Chains A and B, each alone.
Chain A
């Protein structure tokens, strides 16, 4: 454990006071007065909310919910499920980078940006999603995934549960890959919709993640490698393989019985390593490392699978 690890472990931000003495009591009070739990009727909660709000806007929303939620239709193999929580398609446009921006309004539904359903939100909320240019996901499919993710986290009629569960799983699997939630362009000072879901998912962050991964992998490797002791070298290889390499590459590195090293593409330890800028293409990033051996240099190309943040290949060129 290095010094920073020790400092972080010994430091813990602490609020100026503990939780109030009524903390647990308030929770018990709430759940006691809002039974039945676990399978409470969302229909009932919905109308409780309506009574509380009593606004024309909410009544309009109810009409929309009944009209759209009460009907069932099929689009592209996705079946719209009758529901009291709903997601509405609100428009689509094409961004300068050819990705599609899809606006989806959710009514009384919460979809958070980690793709996990959280609390039921009150009122409407607009979500903007950017569908990557190369993705085949359609706006209708995205709408259904948002709807399913919303429904899966709340009380849902049993006959829809498995379908919603599948939509929610699709949503979680594709968020950050096929599509990203973005901030509204008109509130973004840059004038462009910025991704704020998975920061490793856009090109800039893929580059940053790749640089960090490769530099960490090689600096760790050299620290542990600097010895003629065979077991030390083998330990370094295993550490590299376990922490930084994809499965296929790991076996190539760890099982390497030769003095020629598959990580460094050399038989000796370089004096220094110069790290080039990563280049990103889809889910793959490559980075060229220049190994400085004093009178000579060698080039090593490191390939990173950005979806798993693992080094997937190392190729040598001289």
Chain B
């Protein structure tokens, strides 16, 4: 089952084959978890949201358009869940110093560069939506069209939001 294509795994999942769906989960769990973490900045909440997203995706699998990328669809569900979580919890994502310290970069651990320290503080000050867009574009490798599909927004809006987010980051970084 590990060797099956994504389409085959989806087809089996639609036939209530949970093991086939488990393979899909294994393939994308890290990306979805990291993306949720980039938005909510809490490991436990990110894991819960990632888990809810996979469960939700399973029950809506018959609505998935197989001409599209499965990962983009998953990111769409996870992004919505993470943003809704923030909205519902009525909390802002102004991470505390302690929380910021928990966000580490794999490329510089354990001695992060001063530039990256500044950068992750600046990113933490962006709105949750902009953090989601930055995560999708720079860390999950989605292009503008895929992000537009993920957020159900025009591609032009995504480009402008990224420009604005980068402008804000530049100001924060001085």
Q: Which residues of A contact B (CB under 8 A)?
A: 4-5, 7-20, 23-24, 26-28, 30-32, 35-40, 110, 112-116, 118-119, 153, 172, 196, 198-200, 208-209, 212-213, 216, 243, 307-310
In contact, A213 and B21 (Cβ under 8 angstroms): no
Given contacts A16-B104, A200-B157, contact A112 B84 (CB under 8 A): yes
The reply to whether the CB of B47 lies closer than 8 angstroms to some CB of chain A is yes
Given contacts A13-B105, A153-B60, A243-B159, contact A113 B55 (CB under 8 A): no
The reply to whether the CB of B80 lies closer than 8 angstroms to some CB of chain A is yes
In contact, A31 and B103 (Cβ under 8 angstroms): no
- Nearest Cβ distance between residue B73 and chain A, in whole angstroms? 11
- A28, A172, A208 — most chain B CB neighbours (10 Å): A28
In contact, A208 and B164 (Cβ under 8 angstroms): yes
In contact, A24 and B22 (Cβ under 8 angstroms): yes
In contact, A172 and B84 (Cβ under 8 angstroms): no
Closest to B105 in A: A11
Instruction: Please report the C-alpha to C-alpha distance between residue A153 and residue B33 in the assembled complex, in whole angstroms.
Output: 23
CB contacts under 8 Å to A, within B98-137, are 102-107, 109, 115-116, 119-120, 123, 127, 129, 134
Chain A residues whose C-beta falls within 8 Å of the C-beta of B102 in the assembled complex: 15-16
In contact, B18 and A32 (Cβ under 8 angstroms): yes
In contact, B115 and A7 (Cβ under 8 angstroms): yes
Chain A residues whose C-beta falls within 8 Å of the C-beta of B38 in the assembled complex: 13
In contact, A24 and B106 (Cβ under 8 angstroms): no
In contact, B59 and A37 (Cβ under 8 angstroms): yes
Contact sample, A vs B, 8 pairs, CB 8 Å cutoff:
A8-B134, A8-B138, A13-B38, A24-B25, A28-B21, A38-B60, A118-B56, A119-B81
In contact, A209 and B151 (Cβ under 8 angstroms): no
Contact code string B1-31 (vs A, CB < 8 Å = 1, else 0):
0000000000000101011011001100110
